[in-house]
Structure 1
């Protein structure tokens, strides 16, 4: 297992209102010391996701991963504009969470912009676990087998896999990277419920994951 704190072997839904995350001292160049990471904040324009439409006219918060951290998304263009929009915002869900993990900053506005309810609480617990462990990560995560299922009532389910064998744990204070061979736990299966809000943004409302998922392993 290359990067994830052991406490989150499986990311379960939680109702804990952990929406304000305490940051540890030290980091990857953007450290704010003992400032708190918050889900809410001001909005700025975001560079379009590779699979996102630039014409949706939504004022989106910026998401910027640090140097050395890369998320690679396979697929994203299904031929169905609605499904493509859902996949594009699902990318932003993922990137907003990983930005909060890897960038020490007082606020992460994208987090609350793209997640709400149980998903936001689950994400807060996931993110906080890295700070509690004094770690972040570097490297590359590949997301693949991404599928959208439209549900009754207007919601959607997005399922996908990740390959984290090239993502490595990094000590927040020293910057030392722990490189180890990948194993079965580095292949993770995800299921996310997405709902469209009044601004036209597809937000994650529920998140579940399973580490070591056989269907995601080569």
Structure 2
């Protein structure tokens, strides 16, 4: 299973890190266990799948190394609002991984897609990779993504999904050593429940994140 670093149990206030270039103000909460634009962070990189929702707003370009892959299943619902939520959520996930790869929380995409508690919790999580002098390598699969659009203006939404981290591992920056697989496949699955708000520029920013590792909804 995955031996990737987990999100903190409780997000801490790290306001100093949140002077980020954002498209709006203001969540990442985690019940238990449990990753910005075109910068070179060492090693070859490839463009991450870019969100294309709200074409009037230009999304920041995000680059991830070739050995750091996120695979998003689902989509193609035919509902433009749901598709926009999914695409900006993908941008958010990629922005966290770019922050890990580039060793910078000040990349454009981080503040573009994250706000409030989600931004604070994500900053704590990413900082942990910096402190431990690690990154991650492999593939994370995101699946069973379910969107519920809320509000009269359809400007709020909840998104739940599962992440399979069984093919993603910690990697030491100095030695390049990759962590060994760990027994217990259930611990490689993480359930997420997130809240998003559409800001005045048409971007679906994630405001809150709840996550739990090894839970039955993902098995």
Q: Give TM-score scaled by structure 1 length.
A: 0.80
Matches within 5 A, 1:43-82: 49=49, 52-53=51-52, 56-82=55-81
Structure 2: gaps of 5 or more residues: 23-35, 39-46
Is 1:19 aligned to residue 17 of structure 2? Answer: yes
**Secondary structure in 2 aligned to 1:129?**
helix
For 2:5 and 2:69, the matched residues in 1 are separated by: 19
Map 1:1-218; keep pairs closer than 5 Å: 2-5=2-5, 8=7, 10=9, 12-17=10-15, 19=17, 39-40=20-21, 49=49, 52-53=51-52, 56-105=55-104, 107-152=106-151, 154-181=155-182, 183-217=185-219
8 Å CA contact 1:13–1:207 kept in 2: the answer is no
Q: 1:48 to 1:174 in 2, by over 3 A?
A: closer
For residue 119 of structure 1, give the secondary structure of its aligned residue in structure 2. Answer: helix
Shift of residue 123 of structure 1? 0.4
Count of residues in correspondence between the two structures = 196
Q: Deviations over 1:115-150 (max 9, x none)?
A: 111110010011011111221100000000001011
Describe the shift of the 1:82–1:54 C-alpha distance in structure 2 as closer, same or farther (beyond 3 A): closer
Q: Is the 8 A contact 2:48 2:62 kept in 1?
A: no
| Shift, 1:188, TM fit | 0.2
- 1:159 and 1:189 in contact (8 A); partners too: yes
Q: How far apart, in 1, do the equivalents of 2:52 and 2:96 lie?
A: 21
Please give the alpha-carbon distance, in whole angstroms, between the structure 2 residues aligned to 1:116 and 1:106: 13
SS at match of 1:210: strand
The RMSD of aligned alpha carbons is 2.7
Shift of 1:78: 1.1
1:210–1:55 distance in 2 versus 1, CA, 3 Å = closer
Q: 1:145 to 1:104 in 2, by over 3 A?
A: same
Distance in 2 (alpha carbons) for counterparts of 1:211 and 1:55? 32
Helix, strand or coil at the partner of 1:147: strand
Structure 1 counterpart SS, 2:65: coil
- 1:71 alignment partner, SS class: strand
Distance (whole Å) between structure 1 residues aligned to residue 177 and residue 56 of structure 2: 41
